Amino acid sequence: MVRRAYISASSHWVPEKVLTNFDLEKLVDTTDEWIRTRTGIEERRILGAGKATSDMAAEAVKALCKQRGIDPKEIDVIVVATVTPDMFFPSTANLVQEKVGAKNAWSFDVAAACSGFLFGLNIGAQFVQAGTHNKVVVVGADKMTSITNYRDRNTCVLFGDAAGAVLLEPSEDDDIGLLDFMLHSDGSGAEYLMLKGGGSLNPASLETIANDWHFIYQDGKSVFKFAVTKMAEVAVNILERNNYSGKDIKMLIPHQANLRIIDGTVKRLGIDYDKVMININKYGNTTAATIPLALSEAYQQGKLDKGDLVLFATFGGGFTWGSGLVRWGLDNPVKK
Ligand code: ACO
């Protein structure tokens, strides 16, 4: 018998401050109309100075523990997926461990850009499946505004700040839980989406600052082409591998980078839009946070029932991409 991991709680946290497309019209040469039609984004959340990724992640983890009714000391492992760690080291996961009082957990970060949460979820699931750990927290959190250049209209309209988290525990029902993952990397895509400065190749200097290398660089068109193909392909492939098709899934929870990329996946799966969780209009691209944030909203809005088949699909910098298939294990909090 497989010792399967299941999601026993699902939470998120977003900052209160909203940056609308109309606010951005005042900063760069853009329009609300361009942003909405090219990306699907209407507004995004901004954390502001003095607070960091670990603060958002810690709030999401506190909410997770409250929802499940556990003390943070019961957590065994904390995995934080992020490309905007508070610092290079210590890990953001360690800062979260301290902030929530998870004294008995060990903790580390995962970096796979927008695919970070799914990569982290697969890692977290292994700890539970191996029988070595019983309560594993996986967080996706990014303060994208800390690496966004508000002079570059190509990128500044896209990103926002958020955190989402799940708790993984052993499933008592063999059919419920994390069923399968398909994860991929292609390092030849590295050049299209990156943070050039501040690492060991280009340590922070007056030159890296002058070149804006501390901000996201993206060749949007190249990333778009790859993303729209790969995210759809991997979503179809994981369903096929498990003898399912689009009609079997209750909900697709895609990475929210661009509504047109999500469109591509929806069409390939042949599903209706009422089966797709979309909140890119409210939050923009929050990188590692998009999937746990969308999952948490879907769960809390009563869109998921115990036994539903949920499909995750993502694409991100690296390139990285993948999908995950979950048989949902929580009762609907709205119907209760
Ligand atoms: N407002 C107005 N015009 C703009 C803006 C803006 N905010 N941004 C770009 N434009 C202009 C461009 O300058 C260009 O003008 P030109 O033709 O005169 O040169 C024109 O609009 C078209 O630009 P494109 O880049 O072709 O626009 P496109 O339709 O491709 O949309 C976008 C750009 C939204 C970035 C899209 O390419 C995209 O979504 N790419 C993928 C993003 C993604 O999935 N990233 C991966 C995850 S992120 C992560 O991992 C961290």
Closest to 147 measured CA to CA, from 7, 317, 20, 334: 317
Residue 65 known to be catalytic: no
Q: Determine the angle formed by the axes of helices 116-129 and 290-300, rounding to 10 degrees.
A: 70
Question: With 70 as the cut, is the pLDDT of residue 336 above it?
Answer: no
Average pLDDT over residues 83-101: 98
| Active site annotation includes 285 | yes
Residue 30 beta carbon below 6 angstroms from any ligand 1 atom: yes
Of 139, 134, 132, 135, nearest to 109 (Cα)? 139
**pLDDT, average across residues 57-72:** 98
Asked if residue 189 and residue 42 are part of one domain, the reply reads: no
Flag the least confident range among 10-14, 173-177, 252-256. Answer: 173-177
Can you tell me the distance from the alpha carbon of 110 to that of 139, in angstroms, rounded to the nearest whole number?
A: 10
Each residue of 317-327: pLDDT tens digit? 999 999 999 99
Cβ–ligand 1 distance for 335 under 6 Å, the answer no
Same domain, 236 and 218: yes
Q: Is the separation of the CB atoms in 76 and 127 below 8 Å? A: yes
144 lines ligand 1 (CB under 6 A): no
Among residues 121, 146, 170, the one where a domain terminates is: 170
Range(s) of the domain holding residue 227: 177-327
Find out whether the beta carbon of 8 lies less than 6 Å from any atom of ligand 1: no
Whether the CB-CB separation of 285 and 160 falls below 8 Å is answered with: yes
Looking at the domain assignment, is residue 332 inside a domain?
no
Residue 227 CA, closest ligand 1 atom number: 44
pLDDT digits over 12-23, tens only? 999 999 999 999
Work out whether strand 136-143 and strand 77-81 pair parallel, antiparallel, or are unpaired. Answer: parallel
pTM over 0.95, yes/no: yes
| 104, 76 contact by CB (below 8 A) | yes
Whether the pLDDT of residue 302 is over 70: the answer is yes
Residue 216 near residue 195 (C-beta atoms within 8 A): yes
If one residue of 39, 224, 315 were mutated to test the ligand 1 pocket, choosing by the most ligand atoms within 8 A of its CB, it would be: 224
Same domain, 11 and 157: yes
CATH number for the domain including 136? 3.40.47.10
Query: Strand, helix or coil at 174?
Result: coil
DSSP 26: T
Which of 105, 140, 170 is a domain's end point? 170
The pLDDT score that the predictor gives to residue 2 is 75
Of 170, 200, 223, which closes a domain? 170
- Please check the confidence at residue 1 and state whether its pLDDT lies above 70: no
Q: How many domains are there within the chain? A: 2
